[in-house]
Chains A and B, each alone.
Chain A
Amino acid sequence: MRLYNEPNPLEVKILTRRFGITNSHTLDVYLQNDGFQAFQKALGMKPDQIIDEMKASGLRGRGGAGFPAGMKWSFVPRSSPKPKYIVVNADESEPGTCKDRLLMEYDPIQMIEGMMIAGLAIDSHKAYVYVRGEYRYLIDLLDRVIDELYARGWLGKSIHGSGFDFDVYTHTGAGSYECGEETALLDSLEGKRGVPRLKPPFPAVAGAWASPTLLTNVETFSAVPAIIRDGGAAFAALGTPRNGGTRMFCLSGHIERPGVYELPMGFNLLQMINEVGGGVRGGRKLKAVVPGGSSCPVLKADECDIAMDFDALAKAKSMLGSGGVVILDETTCMVKFAMRIMKFYAHESCGWCIPCREGTAWLKKTLIRFHDGHGTSKDIDLIDDIAKNMLGRTFCALGDAAAMPTISIVEKFRDEFEAYLAKSSTTVRVPELTVV
C-alpha cells in the first residue's frame, strides 16, 4: 500500500511504526509486528493497573479537547449493572484534520487492540466504531478486518480462551460535522437526529442507550497498545510534561510537503513547518497558522515559535485541537479565509440552539457581502460582536468553534479588513444575494 506522504526522519514512529509495511492492515502482518502483545499483557493486569498505566502515560484525548485519557477511563463506573459500551469517534470532520483515516487505513487492528484493552479496563464487551459517512471505503475495510478477527478468534466469545468476550461493530455517519460532538454522535448512533445532549450526565455515566460509555478518538485508542506494551512512563517521556507521547500532525495548506507526521508532543511549530514540512510553499513568507483544525484561533507568523502541546497553545490563547495544522502564506486573503470557514460552520450548524444557528448564518452572510465588496465600516465591529456574542453561550462547542477563529482573525488582521474595505469602494462587484 502506497503511503500518502513520505515519512520524515524527525518523526518518532509509535502509532505509525507499521505504516509502510506491505499489507499493514492485515492480521498476519499485524501479528508479525508485535500485534496483540499489549492485549496479552493486559489480560494479566488488573483493571486498575491498566488505568494507572494510562494515567501515567499522560495521554490526552486526541479528538480535540485534550482531556486526560486515563482519567476518562476511570470515570466509567465499572460496577454498574448496565452494559458498558466503547465507542470510537471516527467521525473525523474537522477541516484540516486527516489523521484518523490513515490510522484506520494502515493499521486498523492497532485501534481495535486499544479498544479491547479499554474493554478489559472498564469491563465492556461491546464496541462501536462510528465512522464519518464520507469514509465509506474505510468502513468496508474495517468490516473486512473485523470479519477476519472474528474468523481467527481475536474477536467474539472468549478471545483465544481468555474468557474475555468482545464484539466490534462499525456504524456510518451521514455527513454531519455535528455528529463528531460526542453526545450528538451517541444520538446518531442510537438512530436519532444527530443533535447534542445535555451534559451532565456525561457519556462515561450515561452514554449510548443511557449506559456507561467510553467514547474516544481513533488516535487515542491507537496509542493504547504502545502504552500498555512499553509502559505509561515510556510513552509520557516522549512528550512534554502533562502532554505525553507523540501526536499525528496533519500539515496542509501552503507548504512544500503536506502530509501526516507523527511527532513528539511539544514539537516546535516553526521547526515543523520548515524542517518537517519543507517550508512555506514557493519560499513565500508565512502569514498565519491554524494550529489544530479550523476551530482554533489562528496564530500570526510571529506567534509560531511555539511548542505544539495543549498547554503551550492554551497559553497562546489558541488550541492544539485535533492536530490539523494549516499553513497560510502571505498571499492569503484573510477576509476570504474567514468567509470560507464561516461557510463551513453555517452549513454544519445543527440548528439546535439559537446563537449558533442564527449567528453562523448571519456571520456567513455578512462575510460574503463584505468579501463581495459591499462591506461598510460598521461591518468589522459587527462581525467581531456577533462572534463574541456566540462565544461561550451556545449549547455545544460548535458555536465556539465558529466564533473563536473569527474573533482571532478580526483581532489579528483588522488592518487587512480595513484595507479590504478601502479597496472595495473602488472595485465594487454585483452583489450576490445569499438567502441561506
Chain B
Amino acid sequence: MTDLVNLNIDGKAVKVPQGMLLIEAAKRAGIEIPQFCYYEGLTLQAACRMCLVEIEKAPKLTEACTTPVAEGMVVHTDSPTVATARKTMLEFLLANHPLDCPVCDKGGECELQDMVFRYGVGESRFTEVKYHVDEKQWSPVVFYDGPRCILCYRCVRVCDEGLGVGALGIINRGVVSEIAPNMGDHLECDECGACIDICPVGALTSGAYRYKTRPWEMEHVGTICTHCSNGCKTTLGVRDGAIVRANNRDRSGINGEFLCVKGRYAFDFVEHEERLRSPLMRKGGELEEVSWAEALATVAKKFAEVKERGGKFGVIGSNHTTNEENYYLHKFVRDGLGGENIDHHRTGDVAGLIDALAGRADALATVGDLYTTKAILVIGSDLAQQHPLLSYQIRANKRHHDAHVYVVTPGPVREDNYSVRSVRGGLEAIGPLADALKAEPGLVVLFGDSVKGDAVRQLVAFGDSLGIPVKYVALVDYSNSRGAADVSQAAGLAYEQILSASDLDVFWVVGANPLKDHALGSQNAFVVVQEMFLTETAKRADVVLPASSAYEKTGTVTNVTGEVQRLKAGPKVMGTKSDLEIFGLIQKEMGLNLGIWKPDNVLDEMRKTTRGRLPVAAPESIRSARDTLFTSGSLGRYSKVLNAVMEGPGLIYGLPVSGKSQ
C-alpha cells in the first residue's frame, strides 16, 4: 500500500497516494485544472503553462502537471493570480490562432474553444498581423494547419511513445515553430491517426472526415471494430445514416482511445460503390438482381429439396459474423438441415490451447493483463502489424511499468526496440529464455499460428516448468475468429475437406471468401453465398444474399483474448440484411421453426445451452491470415483509405506480405 499524503486544494482536504501529480490529485477531488500539453500516460511537457496554480510558500506560480503532491501542501487553483495567468495564457495562444472556428472541424469539440469559453477573456488586445503558413497534407489521411497549432507536442509524443513510430518532430524556432513529419513533407508511419485524435485543436485534421460535418450533427455509436481480432471499441460518428468518422475519445472499451488505421478510417467499405444492395441469382449463366422474396424462396426450396433426398451440405462459416449468427448457423445446419459439415477458417489454435490448459480458465490472459503483467513473451507474431492493440498495450506496459518483453520471431519486429531479449526463430528457440523467465513474477505468452497442435501442449508444459503464474493468448486474426472457434461444434468435414469434397449438393458460404485461394471440389453444387461484396466466392454463387456489415447490426463478438463485446448498429445500408435475419428468413421459408432470430434472444439461448470444451481442430488447417495494419482479409480492398496510404499493404517481419487468405 502506497503512503497517502494529505493536502488542501481550494479548501478541500484531499488524501492521495504519494508521488501523484497535483493535477491528478485535483481531478480526484473534482477540481478542474485546465491543461493542453499534459496528457495522462505521456511524458510531461509543462509547455502550455495553463495549469499554473498557486501553492502557498512557493515564490511564484507552479505548474500542477509536473509537481508531485506533498504533505501539508496548500493549493489555490482559483485565486485571482491564477485566473489572470490563465486569461493571459489563452490570450497568448489566441494571438496567432486564426479563429476560423466556424469552418474548423474541431469547432464544438475543441479544447482551446472550451478553455477560452470557460477561462478566457472576451476580447483580444492583439492588433498585429497574425503569422500564417499554408496548410499541408502529409498523407491521404493527415492534414496539418500550422496556424491553428498550439504546439502542445501531444502528437509528437503519442506517435513516439504510444505507437513507437516517432514519425513527427518540430521544425523552426520560436513563434514560427511547426510540427513536421520526420520524413520532411510526408508521413511514413502507421497512419493510425492518433495524432489527429489527440490534437486539442483543429491543427491536425483527418482526410476522411474534414469538412463533412459539425461534431454535434453526428450520432455517436459505440461498437466494435470489424477488422481484426483485437476487439477495439470504435465510436462511429453517424450522420444521415452514413459513417463519417470513427474514434474512441471517451476511452471506453478495452482499447482506451487507441485505434489503428483500420479502426479509424477503414469503415469506408460500408459505403463502397461495389457494395451489394440486392440479392443476385444466376439466370442463364449470369448473376442478375432479384427480389429478396425470390432469392429466399429459391434457397429455401433448394435446401428443403436436398435435405429431403438426403443430399450433402457443405457450409463455411465466418470469422466476422456475430456469435449469435455463428450459433444460429450451426443450429441451422445441425437441427435444420441434419448436416454436420460446417467449419470456418481457423487462424490460431484456440481450441488446442484450451485443451492443453485442461480447464484452467485463469490461465487465459485478457487485454488488460498485457498492461499489468511484469513479463511478456511473444512467439511468432509481428504484433505491431497483426495485433496493433496488443502491441500498444505491451508498449504502454513497458513505458509505465517497465515490463520485460521477450520476443521469439522469425524476423525483426517493433518490439525488438525495447525488448530485454529478442531471438530469431520459432518455438524451439524459447528454451534458453527459461532461466530469465523463471525470475519474473508473472508472464503472459502470446503465440501465433506457427504454434499449433502438439506445439501448444509443449508450450504449456514449458510454461508449467517455469514455476511462475503464466497466462496465454492464442493469437487469431479476425474480429470474431475466437467466437467462431468457441461455438464450433460440428464433427463433420473440416474446412479444407469441405472445399475439396466433390460430392456436395449445396455449398453455403456465410461471410467468407474461401474460393479466393482454393478451388471448389464440387463442381455441381448449388452455391449460396451471404456476402457484402461480389468476392471471388460470391462470383461463383447461384444465389448471393447481400449481408450487413458488423457496423450495421447488433450482437456480440469475442476478441482474441476471449472478451465478449456488443456490437451496436450505426448506419443502415438499404437492401442488405444481417446474416442472422437471413438465416431466420430461410428457415421460416422452410418451415423449420428454429427459434426467434433476434440477437438478444439467441444470446439468451446460447447462455443456457452452450457448455463444455471446444472440439480440437486439425493443426494443419490452422493458418494466420497474415493481415497487416493495411490489409483486412477480403474487406481491405473495399476501403479506399487503406488503398490510398503509401505504407500499404504493409510488412510483416520487415518483409512485404503476399498471399493473403480468405
Task: List A residues at the B interface (Cβ < 8 Å).
Answer: 176, 178, 193, 198, 346-355, 357-362, 365-366, 369, 378, 382, 386, 389, 392-395, 433-436
Contacts and interface: CB of A to CB of B under 8 A. Distances in A.
5 contacts: A198-B44, A353-B48, A354-B151, A362-B128, A436-B131
A357 B151 contact: yes
A393 B47 CA distance: 10
Contact of B129 (A351, A386, A394, A434): A434
Nearest to A176: B173
Interface string B118-148: 0000000110110110000000000000000
Interface in B37-73: 44, 46-49, 52, 60-61, 66
B47 A434 contact: no
A357 B49 CA distance: 12
Interface string B85-106: 1001101110110000000000
B66 A198 contact: yes
A361 B125 CA distance: 14
B88 A357 contact: no
Given A351-B151, A354-B150, A369-B128, A361 B49 contact: no
A314 to B, nearest CB: 14
A362 B89 CA distance: 13
Q: Which of A198, A354, A435, A436 has the most CB of B within 10 A?
A: A354
A355 B63 CA distance: 13
A357 B175 contact: yes
Nearest to A361: B175
Contacts of B129: 365, 433-435
A351 B177 contact: yes
B46 A350 contact: no
A369 to B, nearest CB: 7
B46 to A, nearest CB: 6
Nearest to A177: B173
A346 B46 contact: no
A351 B150 CA distance: 10
A355 B89 contact: yes
Contacts of A354: 47-49, 89, 92-93, 150-151
Given A198-B66, A357-B92, 7 more contacts: A353-B49, A359-B92, A366-B128, A378-B125, A395-B46, A395-B47, A435-B132
A398 to B, nearest CB: 10
Contacts of A359: 92
Nearest to B36: A354
B501 to A, nearest CB: 63
A350 B174 contact: yes
Contacts, number: 99
Nearest to B60: A392
A434 B44 CA distance: 34
B172 interface: yes
B176 interface: yes
A88 B527 CA distance: 80
A362 B174 contact: no
Please tell me the size bucket of the interface on B. 20 to 34
B420 interface: no
Interface string B279-296: 000000000000000000
Contact of B170 (A193, A365, A392): A193
Contacts of A360: 174-175
Contacts of A348: 173-174
Interface in B156-205: 169-170, 172-177
Contacts of B125: 378, 382
Contacts of A198: 44, 46, 66
Contacts of B175: 346, 349, 351, 357-358, 360-361, 436
Contacts of A347: 174
A353 B46 contact: yes
A357 B174 contact: yes
Contact of A392 (B61, B131, B176): B61
Contact of A393 (B61, B95, B177): B61
Given A353-B49, A393-B52, A362 B170 contact: no
Contacts of B131: 361, 435-436
Contacts of B173: 176, 178, 348-351
What 7 pairs between A and B have smallest CB-CB spacing?
Answer: A351-B177, A358-B92, A361-B175, A389-B88, A365-B128, A392-B60, A349-B174
Contact of B47 (A352, A382, A392): A352
A201 B88 CA distance: 29
B93 A358 contact: yes
Q: Which of B48, B49, B66, B131 has the most CB of A within 10 A?
A: B49
Contacts of B46: 198, 353, 395
Q: Which of A176, A350, A362, A369 has the most CB of B within 10 A?
A: A362
Contacts of A358: 92-93, 95-96, 175
Nearest to B63: A395
Contact of A389 (B48, B85, B93, B151): B85
Contact of B126 (A193, A362, A395): A362
B45 to A, nearest CB: 8
Q: Which of A346, A358, A365 has the most CB of B within 10 A?
A: A358
B326 to A, nearest CB: 52
Nearest to B170: A193
A185 to B, nearest CB: 15
A308 B129 CA distance: 42
B519 to A, nearest CB: 57
Contacts of A362: 92, 95, 126, 128
Contacts of B172: 351
A176 B172 CA distance: 11
Contacts of B126: 362
A351 B151 CA distance: 8
Q: Which of A193, A351, A382 has the most CB of B within 10 A?
A: A351
Contacts of A178: 173
A178 B172 CA distance: 13
A297 B129 CA distance: 29
A176 B125 CA distance: 30
A352 B88 CA distance: 17
A395 B49 contact: yes
Nearest to A356: B174
Nearest to A400: B60
Contact of A353 (B44, B47, B85): B47
A2 to B, nearest CB: 36
Contacts of A382: 125
